Structure 1
Amino acid sequence: MAYVDKDSRSVDWQLNESGIVVWPIGAFEQHGYHMPLNTDNIQAEYFGKYLAKRLDAALLPALPFGTSLEHAGFRGSITLSPELMMGMVAHMADELEAQNFHTLIIMNGHGGNFSIAPKVREINRQDRPIKILIVRPWEHTTAFSGNEIHSGEFETSVLLEIEPKLVGDDRRD
């Protein structure tokens, strides 16, 4: 259930049912000439919605920007510093913990969001009611993707399945 579509009573009800919230995090960066800048967001939101539905969890709005230092200089790419990303994860944990959520699942749609993991480990080591999990859908796909990293056949195929109209015609074959 999308958190943004609920009123306060509905969010409370959702909390009482599972105590789990899913937060998609993507990036806004170049994906070649055939895919949109928000490709990572589209994929993080898609898999985040799927996971939230399967777990009967609340779904936060996606964070549309990530750490994309490797794409600095590419037209349209916007990056957040690792420090800012770590701060946002810590603040979100505080906010959700104050509302009695016990599990935050980050659906990470971008490999460059490397700074999230150390902050999650730090928070999880503390004696706190909230625990954080990171789901990285692409982490175990190298057998299928041929070790490609970015904007190649595998990532293009995923976007073709989710939002085919957003993939440029030159990559549909």
Structure 2
Amino acid sequence: MILYEMTMPEFERGLKKTRTVVIPFGVLEQHGSHLPLGTDTMQAEDVCRHLAARRALFVAPPIHYGVCRSTADHPGTISISTDTLKALAMEIVKDLYRQGLRCFVLLSGHAGGTHNAALLDAGETLLKQLPEAAIAVVTEYDLAAGEGRGIIETPGDAHAGEIETSRILNSRPHLVKGSSPAEVPSFPRGLLVRDKRRHWPGGVHGDPSKATADKGRRIEELVVDALERLVILLEEGA
């Protein structure tokens, strides 16, 4: 059940079937020269929609902005603060809770550590404030890399590489504009740098040339399976 496509009576009827909602969090962020800025948001929303076709649950509208630290200097990346992301996540969950929802999955399509730490912090705070809430915070990319490890050829593939290019080739091939050279960022360990693009000029971490639409389809199916298992655990009170 896609929330922003539903009417008020449909929402009321939906609450009789489920009290579970998945909230996809994405970003507007560079993904090399070949993938769209909304790649992370698209991937998160897609798996939520596929899961909603399998079982009764609500899918909230995607959040298109998040925290982008290592790509902040690349053209097209629009970032918000951790405080803003945490506050946004908390306000949305609280109002969904007020409407009757009780099981919440905060699904991030963005793998940034700072971004996901803010969502985890929001989730932990909400657990203390909402006595009947069950909350999960998961990174969609971690599911893809873990579940798809037998499919992925590129060691350490992480951003705009084999995995994400395959995913978009499968779901939105018209948005893939060729490819980008294989690349690994060269950030010095432990040091903060001002000119981030100097250490990551192409914005790719992995090898897009190994991507195929079939890999993307298979990985996406595995991610939906993993997300469904997580929802079942959440609903059962594990």
- For the residues of structure 2 that align with 1:39 and 1:127, how far apart are their CA atoms? 32
SS at match of 2:169: helix
Residue of structure 2 equivalent to 1:59: 59
- For the residues of structure 1 that align with 2:105 and 2:130, how far apart are their CA atoms? 18
Residue of structure 1 equivalent to 2:135: 132
Larger gyration radius, structure 1 or structure 2: 2
- For the residues of structure 1 that align with 2:37 and 2:140, how far apart are their CA atoms? 19
User: Is 2:160 the partner of 1:157?
Assistant: no
- Residue identity over aligned pairs, in percent, reads 26
Between 161-170 and 130-139, report the one with greater CA deviation.
130-139
Between 145-154 and 12-21, report the one with greater CA deviation.
145-154
Please report the TM-score for the alignment, with normalisation by the length of structure 2.
Answer: 0.68
Between 65-74 and 31-40, report the one with greater CA deviation.
65-74
Shift of 1:84: 0.6
User: Is 2:44 the partner of 1:13?
Assistant: no
1:6-29 CA-partner distances (Å, limit 9, x unpaired): 111111111121011111111101
Between 146-155 and 121-130, report the one with greater CA deviation.
121-130
SS at match of 1:104: strand
1:14-73 CA-partner distances (Å, limit 9, x unpaired): 112101111111110100000010111111110111222333111111111111122112
> In the alignment, is the contact (CA less than 8 A) between 1:89 and 1:116 conserved in 2?
yes
Show the 5 A alignment for 1:2-81.
Answer: 2-81=2-81
- For the residues of structure 2 that align with 1:157 and 1:31, how far apart are their CA atoms? 13
Please report the TM-score for the alignment, with normalisation by the length of structure 1.
Answer: 0.91
Show the 5 A alignment for 1:93-132.
Answer: 93-112=93-112, 113-114=115-116, 115-126=118-129, 128-132=131-135
> In the alignment, is the contact (CA less than 8 A) between 2:110 and 2:140 conserved in 1?
no
SS at match of 2:23: strand
- For the residues of structure 1 that align with 2:50 and 2:120, how far apart are their CA atoms? 22
SS at match of 2:70: helix
SS at match of 2:131: coil
* Structure 2 letter corresponding to 1:75: P
Shift of 1:168: 1.4
- For the residues of structure 2 that align with 1:109 and 1:159, how far apart are their CA atoms? 13
Between 46-55 and 76-85, report the one with greater CA deviation.
46-55
* Structure 2 letter corresponding to 1:88: L
Root mean square deviation, CA, Å: 1.8
Between 135-144 and 91-100, report the one with greater CA deviation.
135-144
> In the alignment, is the contact (CA less than 8 A) between 1:26 and 1:41 conserved in 2?
yes
* Structure 2 letter corresponding to 1:150: H
Aligned length: 173
* Structure 2 letter corresponding to 1:151: A
- For the residues of structure 1 that align with 2:18 and 2:163, how far apart are their CA atoms? 34
- For the residues of structure 1 that align with 2:128 and 2:83, how far apart are their CA atoms? 19
